[in-house]
Structure 1
Amino acid sequence: MVRDTFADDDTPDLQSVLDALDDPDCRQIVSELTEPMTAEEISEVADIPLSTTYRKIDTLVEASLLEEGVQIRSDGQHASQYVVAFDEVAIGLSDDRVFEVDISREPRTADERLADLWSEVRKET
């Protein structure tokens, strides 16, 4: 695994990662998410109620374990899509004997980084 040097270096809070990984529904979502899916698709495949699916997705996104993208539809009704955003989660001790979390990710392509940049620009305008 390679760390993406262009990605946000915002390491998630250890507790949010542990909480997400401890939740059976969150683990089920990660297991079923083999390709980009909408919340509705995830709900159906994982057999989790849609309202619960949205809450679990929020938990996973907050823990930096899922990433949100946009599914462009021809009818103009775009939908959020989610993908697994990690290859490995490592928990260790720092030199100060403090627990730390490290999330390894596949390097993103230039197109993905550009899409993220445009997404941030749109948020600002």
Structure 2
Amino acid sequence: MASVDVLRTLGNKYSAEILEATGEPRSAQELSDELDIPIATCYRRIDELTEHGLLELHDNVLSEDRRRIKVYRRNVEGVRVAFGDELAIDVEERSTVTNKLDEAWRSLSEKPACTSSS
């Protein structure tokens, strides 16, 4: 990912707030409500952050009214910017172990419950 593009995305209004709020999975509507962001702007920021690998589509969950809702989670633990001879951006990705545990939990929770007939 190009350093200037990532910095530009992070500099957009609400991007940092969205990343901060998505330590746990959140839908665009939840982010919009919690952070007081217009929903259209929230979707634009989500698209930009996802495009640069800073945010990921975590899951598609079923709402109470049986609609699919996309939930997002940040893909990074931190971002460091250094100005020297050239711009350098160091992106600290989420722990691989954390990602594997999340994936295992998700796959277990999607399996139908076993029932025994006696």
Identity of aligned residues (%): 29
Q: After superposition, where does 1:1-125 map in structure 2 within 5 Å?
A: 12-73=1-62, 76-91=66-81, 99-105=87-93, 106-107=95-96, 108-109=99-100, 112=103
Cα distance in 2 between the residues matched to 1:17 and 1:103? 10
User: Where is the strand percentage greater, Structure 1 or Structure 2?
Assistant: 2
- Structure 2-normalised TM-score? 0.69
Computing the radius of gyration from Cα coordinates, the structure with the larger value is 2
C-alpha RMSD of matched pairs (Å): 2.7
Secondary structure (helix, strand or coil) at the match of 2:25 reads coil
Secondary structure (helix, strand or coil) at the match of 2:24 reads coil
Unaligned runs of 5+ in 1: 1-11, 116-125
**Aligned pair count?**
101
Change (3 A) 1:43 1:89: same
- Structure 1-normalised TM-score? 0.65
Unaligned runs of 5+ in 2: 107-118
Cα distance in 1 between the residues matched to 2:82 and 2:17? 25
Describe the superposition over 1:57-108 as per-residue Cα deviations: whole angstroms up to 9, x where unpaired: 1111112111112232176522111111101223469xxx664433222112
Question: How big is the shift at 1:23?
Answer: 1.6
